[in-house]
Structure 1
Amino acid sequence: MMAGIVACVVLLSLGAACLARSRSQHLSVETLLVADRALPAPMLFILTVGEIYSIGSIVAFPAGLYTHGISYGYWFLGYLLLAFPVGYFVGPAIWERARRYDACTVPEVFGRYFGSVVFERLTAWGCIAALVPWGQFQFIGLRATLGMMGLPGAPAAGLAACAVIAFAYVALGGMRASTYVAFLKDSLMLFGIAAVGVAAICAQYGGTGTYVAHPVVFRQPAVTDMVFAVSTIVYQGVGFYFQPSVTPYLFTARSAQAVRRAMVFMPLYMLMYPFAVFATYFAIRSLPPLRDVNGVFFHVAGMLLPPWVVALVMAGAVLAGLLVLAATSLNIAAMMTRSIMPRLAHGHPRRAINLGVILFLVLALVATAHAPAIMLTALNVSGYVGIQFASLWFVVLLDRPVPARVAGSGVVFGAVTAIALFASDLSVGGINPGFMGLLVNCAVVFCPLWRRKRVT
């Protein structure tokens, strides 16, 4: 029954993508990548939170809380709360720069601002390096979800089907199709997380749960834990909307005012996280130790809810992974065909983008089957790379006369610093390595300007 309900929901999502295709008379490249820059505030809101509240909200967040305790929740929730007011101010400015330069991808904004095709190509490679592990992570989350469903032939056949469906979203309507699917996905995720959280509360305080003191969750966080949490909140909160995995969604808005209105309602989605916390605490207190911590949320759902509700929870998680996977693969393919190898797309740009999507999905599928542990490590590294592009956005938004070589050097030095600190496990007072990298990055980019001003 569970597999049948999930299959019906996925088919319904394909119907939503077909509806999006019917609303577009001509599926141009601009329609495919930025939805003709025509999304009103409600649709932009749904599309953007589709990226923020991905499959990690059900898989990674409960797993991190279960493993690392309350200090994990501090920075995870804290940076999202900071990101929304930052996005309220920088989001409209990012949209305006994309419209000014007629850009459909992040590297196109940088290349046209700095007036350098080479710089556009190099930043495209950097953005792809940050995006590939993020798309890969969606496959890892989908594999965990399919494994909990106990489907025969999973994960290989199930993941192959997921790749086909993600490509169908892109081929049918691009970003606009993702918006229509996001309506269905968000409804299921909100319902599922709230249902599991409420059931966990009722079970725990109704006397069915057995209290077990958990040393990780209930210990007082160390000073270094709090330093890491605060530095991560500042680093990821300020840099969140400058990441290449998030910024392109802002390009789809109808106007700068639409971006601003969408940002006003972003904090409403934080209401789901307390329910995920309740579900995780129930697992800690009432369930035996779990080997696969990625399935914490699903274990609680299976214990407390009827099968058909669990199936809807699973369906919401599957759609979340598919939605972000489709958007990420589209973004990567667009940068490959428009910035890195534009000659291959000459005459048939839409066909080249679709081929790029297929290539990424196939390679990511193979990597999931053979090197999942490596890709999980790469996911951490990609975060350190992605937010380093914030310095370039600072230059663009402030309209500062920084040479392309200086701006690029800042990104490189910042990423190398963050990755080196992470790889060597060297702690600088507990400060997030990415935050240290961003400080080095901004110092390289902006210090020459200060020296120049002093000389003049």
Structure 2
Amino acid sequence: MATIVFAALIVLSLALALASKGGHHPNSAKDFFIASRQFGSWLVFFLVVGEVYSIGTIIGFPGGIYAKGGTYGIWFLGYILLAYPVGYFLNPWIWRAGKRYDAVTLPDVFKGHFAGQYGRRALELTATIAAITFLVPWGQIQFGGIIVALHGLGWDIDSRALAVVAAILAFCYVAISGIRAPAYVAILKDILMMAAIVITGMAAVTAVGGVSPIFEAAKSAANNHLDQQELRFTMSTILFQALGFWLLPFNVQGIFTARSEQTVRRTQMVMPLYMLMFPFLVVTAYYALEHHVVGGGAANNAFIAAAVHLLPGWAIGIIAAGASLSGLLVLAGICLAIGPLVSRNLFSHIPEQKQRGVTKVIVAGYLLVSIALTLFAPTLLLTVNNTAFFGMTQFFPGVLCVLFFKRANPIAIAVGMVVADVLCIAFYVMQTPLYGINIGLVGLIINICIVAAGSFAALILKGEMPNPIPVAYQPAKVLQPSE
């Protein structure tokens, strides 16, 4: 029964993707990548939320609590909560910059803003290569989670075959109508994911007669202690990832689909309501911990194992579909982000009318690489997640320069990114002790110092004395938020 329900819901998702083809310009690259900036509040909301709450939410979050205790949830919840007010103020400005420079990607914004300046192409390439490099492990997260979800159906199928099926589905969503298909399917995905999380959480509470018995029984097994070093890591990670969250390439692309900056602002106001799902995930994780439903399996199986232990077959089909679509839509979003990064920014000579076709080839190659990494270089979801953020948040100083610092130097921005990225990876590989501070935050501080010093030095060499008033108070007029 679980397989029948799962298959029916996947077919329904493909039908929604096909329905998204109607009423737009199928040959337009801009429509394929950012829906010609036509999405209203609802579609932007479901598209962006669909990428915020991915397979890491339904699989990785309860798996982290199962393996590391309740303290794991502090940084996870903290950075998402802090990201919302950051996005409320930052994202409308990013949308306006995208509109101003007719951008599809963040490197497009850099290219347009610094047009005519020496080093503009170097900055565009630096941002493009960094985005592609750090997006690769993000796909690995999705494939790993999807395989866990599909195994919950009881299929005795090799992980390689499941990964190939997932890649084919993700490619179909992209090929059918570009970013419109994930936006339509995200509506179904959110309904299924919320239903799966709430149903499983309520079943866990009902099975033990209330919430308190679950926490009391799991108290001895759960690690709920934070020492000073862990606290420093938690707080620095919350700050670092909140600053960079909206600069993930697929999130920027989702912002660019909106028809106005007010549309972006309205969607940010209601997104925090999705945080209501997390208490149900916590309860489910503690139930799995106390009742040993995972057995000898990996911690990432905690949610699915608890669901299989508590629920009938038809409900397992809903849960597997919701979890799988969560990963598939983010995979599709990553593919749609990498496509223009390669076809527009890495190889800028490709004509716009050919970018859609080239993107499909790029997408197929990216999916194959992600499958290989998932199967032959498996990594804990938490580790991969942090590694990806090392690179993405380093865009933050450059974005601030576009929005506020009119005379920033593009070479300084590019050098800041490269130095920060290299240092973060070196610190990570060498396990350099930084007294618990998140490696990425250290890199970000170094990045900001390089951008500030480099831009100041460039102005001095030009014979221009920098204004003693902080240039952050002099934003470019074209990027002023509307009244």
In structure 1, what is the equivalent of residue 34 of structure 2? 34
In structure 2, what is the equivalent of residue 292 of structure 1? 298
In structure 1, what is the equivalent of residue 91 of structure 2? 91
Aligned ranges for residues 180-199 of structure 1 at < 5 Å?
A: 180-199=184-203
In structure 1, what is the equivalent of residue 345 of structure 2? 339
In structure 1, what is the equivalent of residue 72 of structure 2? 72
Q: Is the 8 A contact 1:147 1:154 kept in 2?
A: no
1:329 Cα deviation after fit: 1.0
Distance of 2:114 and 2:184 partners within structure 1:
35
Distance of 2:456 and 2:409 partners within structure 1:
14
Distance of 2:18 and 2:37 partners within structure 1:
20
Distance of 1:314 and 1:33 partners within structure 2:
28
Say if 2:145 is the partner of 1:141: yes
Aligned ranges for residues 25-424 of structure 1 at < 5 Å?
A: 25-115=25-115, 116-205=120-209, 212-214=217-219, 217-287=222-292, 289-344=295-350, 347-373=353-379, 379-424=385-430
Q: Which amino acid aligns with 2:153?
A: M
Change in 2 beyond 3 A, CA 1:328/1:210: closer
Aligned with 2:138: secondary structure? helix
Deviates more, 1:66-75 or 1:419-428: 419-428
Q: Which amino acid aligns with 1:139?
A: F
Specify every segment of 5 or more residues in structure 1 that has no aligned partner in the other structure, as ranges. Answer: none
Distance of 2:233 and 2:381 partners within structure 1:
23
1:286 Cα deviation after fit: 2.2
Distance of 1:77 and 1:346 partners within structure 2:
40
Change in 2 beyond 3 A, CA 1:309/1:40: same
Normalising to structure 2: TM-score of the pair?
A: 0.89
In structure 1, what is the equivalent of residue 475 of structure 2? none
Change in 2 beyond 3 A, CA 1:4/1:345: farther
String of CA shifts for 1:219-267, please: whole Å, max 9, x gaps.
4211111111111111111221122242111000010000000000010
Aligned with 2:422: secondary structure? helix
Specify every segment of 5 or more residues in structure 2 that has no aligned partner in the other structure, as ranges. Answer: 469-483
Q: Is the 8 A contact 2:152 2:316 kept in 1?
A: no
Q: Which amino acid aligns with 2:54?
A: S
Q: Is the 8 A contact 1:198 1:275 kept in 2?
A: yes
Distance of 2:29 and 2:5 partners within structure 1:
34
In structure 2, what is the equivalent of residue 432 of structure 1? 438
Normalising to structure 1: TM-score of the pair?
A: 0.94
Q: Is the 8 A contact 1:131 1:245 kept in 2?
A: no
1:381 Cα deviation after fit: 2.1
Q: Which amino acid aligns with 1:362?
A: L
Q: Is the 8 A contact 1:243 1:389 kept in 2?
A: no
Distance of 2:386 and 2:206 partners within structure 1:
36
1:213 Cα deviation after fit: 4.8
Change in 2 beyond 3 A, CA 1:215/1:401: farther
Change in 2 beyond 3 A, CA 1:117/1:216: farther
Deviates more, 1:183-192 or 1:336-345: 336-345
Deviates more, 1:160-169 or 1:238-247: 238-247
Q: Is the 8 A contact 1:114 1:404 kept in 2?
A: yes
Deviates more, 1:312-321 or 1:410-419: 410-419
Distance of 1:123 and 1:33 partners within structure 2:
18
String of CA shifts for 1:52-105, please: whole Å, max 9, x gaps.
100111111111111111221111001111100110100100000001000111
Deviates more, 1:422-431 or 1:120-129: 422-431
Q: Which amino acid aligns with 2:84?
A: F
Distance of 1:152 and 1:203 partners within structure 2:
28
String of CA shifts for 1:104-123, please: whole Å, max 9, x gaps.
11111112222223431232
Q: Which amino acid aligns with 1:265?
A: V
CA-based RMSD of the aligned residues comes to 2.2
Aligned residues, how many? 456
Change in 2 beyond 3 A, CA 1:210/1:122: closer
